[in-house]
């Protein structure tokens, strides 16, 4: 795709997100808060569906992974031990003319990449959000909003082993907010200062770490494809030795073809072999023994860790970009969000052909409501209503027409093939739940 086309596509998507209620600029009535975004009624459903999909894949369907939900405000010593207080800085430069700020490595010359003005010397910029805890500000302790969710997993390792009796190898997962005072937060929800991470730390013996690393790279890549993201738009990129984080022995990023990136790809998730670095660092700083004792052999080890660490916002954006398409149907452009049915915020729309049929059609909506997220829409022509549903990614529409009064049947329409089938009202719940489970192809 040409750069102009990519820019255009991104613009259209950002505008669709606001217009239809996926994502709004935060604080818009006051002129907006830079890089902060609010998820609207459709956005919150899509986001929750992505999170549920991840939790199901990583926790509820696996006997060897448990979940936690830990405090965002974390003991400050955690971030000293993890190396964040010392290392989590970016060097940044300011343009003295246009006042733009850049990461020093993003402005490699002497001049401002935006206006050609003079740049300041690089200065260190701490990426952690700091706040005070306690009633009296002067006396209160400095604490940090966590910049990643995983450190609380490491500090709880012993608690979790004791209370769950999990044996190696096993994982601990967490999904929650993280905060980074990014110098350049931009590109819609791709890089924000407040975001959600989906992280899983898989503890194993050091000899098995390479095997589990390969296993998780494969598993995680397949997960993105299971969300409906096209394989050709994803790639795996191993880190070069000079870009590896201080804690990692190896790392592979899963990347997506985000339209605004310079080399065509941007990071969705990192899979890292973190060795025993974190457990040892937290053990040393806290003086607590966080090692694991094998109950049968009595052997004591500090396990190695394979981490999978992805972002909900970036997955959300990739899912939308991948699903967005424009196509010509009967000489008119139709915009479709071809979302996987598991992710679609609304699963089925009930549409009476005429207002006069509203009462009977409402009964169909009421039958479906306990089983599936359903909307009822009676405003505008049926063609317009179909298009509205296509645009928000609703996989199925159920139309109640005048014949329905006689034959007690309704028409079910598939968003992608535009095929239609006629089914009895009495069986509509079974048909829709089967369609949601198996998809349209199996139905027709
Ligand atoms: N525990 C390892 C860790 O935090 P990371 O590569 O810094 O690794 C993991 O972050 C994931 O979190 C990224 O792949 C990305 O999806 C998401 N992420 C990181 N910073 C982000 C930001 N400023 N805005 C949105 N998502 C971000």
pLDDT single digits (tens) 28-85: 999 999 889 999 999 999 999 999 999 999 999 999 999 999 999 999 999 999 999 9
Among 156, 402, 262, 243, residue whose Cα is nearest residue 253: 243
Q: Which residue is closest in CA terms to ligand 1's atom 4?
A: 148
Reply yes or no on whether the pLDDT at 442 is more than 60: no
Residue nearest atom 15 of ligand 1, based on CA coordinates: 311
Q: Where are the alpha helices (DSSP H) in 82-178?
A: 84-87, 151-155, 157-164
Answer yes or no: is pLDDT of 19 > 90: yes
User: By CB neighbour count within 10 A (0-12 exposed, 13-18 middle, 19+ buried), where does 416 fall?
Assistant: middle
Atom number in ligand 1 closest to CA 196: 26
Taken in order 242, 247, 250, 253, the sign of the CA dihedral is negative
Helix (H) or strand (E) holding 220: helix 209-226
**Which tokens belong to 152?**
């609380």
Alpha-carbon torsion angle 17, 31, 179, 218, nearest 10 = 20
Mutational pocket test of ligand 1: of 184, 187, 274, 314, the residue with most ligand atoms within 8 Å of the beta carbon: 314
Distance 190 CA to ligand 1 centre (A): 10
The residues lining ligand 1, judged by C-beta closer than 6 Å to any ligand atom, are: 148, 150, 180, 182, 191-192, 195, 197, 199, 267-270, 307, 309-311, 313-314
Distance 214 CA to ligand 1 centre (A): 20
88-103 exposure pattern, b = at least 16 Cβ within 10 A, e = fewer: bebebbbbeeeebebe
Q: Which atom of ligand 1 lies nearest, measured to the CA of 180?
A: 23
Q: Nearest-5° angle of CA 75, CA 79, CA 83?
A: 160
* Per-residue pLDDT at 123: 81
Q: What is the pTM of this model?
A: 0.93
pLDDT > 70 in the chain, percent: 98
- Give 57's contacts (C-beta < 8 A, 6+ positions apart): 223, 226
Q: What is each CA distance from 181 to 19, 59, 72, 129, 130, in whole angstroms? A: 28, 30, 15, 6, 10
Nearest residue (CA) to ligand 1, atom 25: 191
> Which positions ≥6 away from 119 have C-beta within 8 Å?
93, 94, 95, 96, 102, 107, 110, 111, 112
Distance of alpha carbon 69 from alpha carbon 89, whole angstroms: 26
DSSP-assigned beta bridge partners for residue 182: none
| Residue 190, pLDDT score | 96
Most informative mutation of 237, 258, 311 for ligand 1 (most atoms within 8 A of CB): 311
Residue 444: the pLDDT is 47
DSSP code string of 244-296: S-TT-SEEEEEEE--TT-TTS-EEEEEEEEEETHHHHHHHHHH-----EE-TT
The overall average pLDDT reported for the chain is: 94
Distance 95 CA to ligand 1 centre (A): 27
CA–CA gap between residue 401 and residue 423 (Å, rounded): 12
Between the CA of 313 and the centroid of ligand 1 the distance, in Å, is: 10
Q: What is the rounded distance in angstroms from the CA atom of residue 239 to the CA atom of residue 250? A: 7
Task: Return the structure tokens found at 17.
Answer: 């997100």
210 pLDDT more than 80: yes
Q: Ligand 1, residue 270: give the atom nearest the CA.
A: 14
Nearest to 172 by CA among 101, 67, 82, 260: 67
**Three-point CA angle 49, 375, 414, nearest 5°:** 75
3-state secondary structure of 203: strand
* pLDDT tens by residue, 370-398: 999 999 999 999 999 999 999 999 999 99
Atom in ligand 1 nearest the alpha carbon of residue 193: 23
Give the whole-angstrom CA distance, residue 10 versus residue 19: 14
Confidence tier at 443 by pLDDT (50, 70, 90): very low
Ligand 1 center from residue 259 Cα (angstroms): 18
Question: What does the alpha-carbon distance between residue 394 and residue 63 come to, in Å, rounded to a whole number?
Answer: 33
Give 411's strand partners. Answer: 399, 422
pLDDT score at 144: 94
Give the mean model confidence (pLDDT) for residues 424-429: 98
| Residue 83: both structure tokens together | 């190396």
Mutate which of 309, 315, 316, 319 for ligand 1 pocket (most atoms within 8 A of beta carbon): 309
For residues 434 and 80, give the distance between their C-alpha atoms in angstroms, rounded to a whole number: 52
Closest atom, ligand 1, to C-alpha of 189: 25
8-state DSSP, 372 = S
Lowest mean pLDDT among 142-146, 161-165, 438-442: 438-442
Do residues 361 and 370 lie in contact, with contact meaning Cβ atoms separated by under 8 Å?
no
Per DSSP bridges, beta strands 141-145 and 170-179 are: unpaired
Q: Which two tokens stand for residue 415?
A: 């968003």
The whole-number pLDDT of residue 267 equals 97
pLDDT at 94: 86
Atom of ligand 1 nearest to the CA of 182: 23
Ranges of H-type helices in 299-422: 312-323, 358-368, 382-392, 402-407
């Amino acid at each position: 795709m040409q750069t102009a086309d990519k820019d255009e596509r991104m613009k259209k998507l950002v505008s669709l997100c606001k217009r239809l209620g996926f994502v709004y600029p935060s604080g818009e009535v006051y002129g907006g808060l830079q890089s902060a975004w609010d998820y609207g009624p459709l956005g919150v459903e899509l986001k929750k569906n992505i999170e549920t999909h991840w939790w199901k894949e990583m926790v509820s369907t696996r006997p060897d992974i448990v979940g936690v939900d830990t405090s965002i405000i974390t003991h400050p010593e955690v971030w000293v031990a993890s190396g964040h207080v010392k290392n989590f800085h970016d060097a940044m430069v300011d343009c003295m003319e246009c006042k733009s700020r850049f990461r020093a490595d993003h402005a490699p010359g002497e001049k401002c990449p935006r206006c050609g003005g003079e740049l300041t010397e690089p200065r260190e910029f701490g990426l952690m959000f700091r706040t005070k805890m306690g009633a009296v500000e002067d006396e209160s302790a400095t604490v940090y909003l966590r910049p990643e969710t995983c450190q609380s997993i490491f500090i709880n390792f012993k608690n979790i082993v004791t209370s769950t009796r999990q044996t190696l190898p096993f994982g601990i997962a967490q999904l929650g907010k993280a905060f980074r005072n990014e110098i350049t937060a931009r590109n819609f929800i791709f890089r924000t200062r407040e975001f959600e991470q989906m992280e899983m730390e898989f503890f194993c013996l050091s000899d098995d770490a390479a095997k589990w690393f390969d296993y998780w790279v494969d598993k995680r890549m397949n997960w993105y494809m299971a969300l409906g993201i096209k394989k050709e738009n994803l790639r795996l990129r191993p880190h070069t030795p000079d870009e590896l984080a201080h804690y990692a022995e190896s790392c592979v990023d899963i990347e997506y073809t985000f339209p605004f990136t310079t080399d065509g790809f941007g990071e969705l998730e990192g899979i890292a072999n973190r060795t025993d670095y974190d457990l040892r660092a937290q053990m040393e700083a806290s003086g607590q023994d966080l090692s694991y004792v094998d109950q049968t052999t009595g052997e004591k080890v500090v396990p190695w860790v394979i981490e999978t660490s992805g972002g909900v916002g970036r997955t959300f954006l990739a899912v939308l970009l991948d699903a967005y398409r424009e196509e010509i149907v009967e000489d008119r452009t139709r915009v479709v969000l071809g979302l996987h049915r598991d992710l679609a915020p609304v699963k089925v729309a009930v549409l009476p052909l005429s207002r006069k049929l509203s009462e009977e059609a409402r009964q169909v909506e009421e039958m479906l409501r306990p089983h599936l997220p359903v909307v009822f829409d009676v405003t505008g022509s049926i063609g317009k209503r179909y298009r509205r549903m296509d645009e928000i990614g609703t996989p199925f529409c159920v139309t109640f027409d005048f014949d329905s009064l006689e034959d007690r049947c309704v028409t079910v329409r598939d968003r992608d093939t535009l095929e239609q089938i006629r089914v009895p009202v009495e069986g509509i719940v079974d048909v829709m739940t089967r369609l949601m489970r198996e998809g349209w192809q199996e139905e027709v």
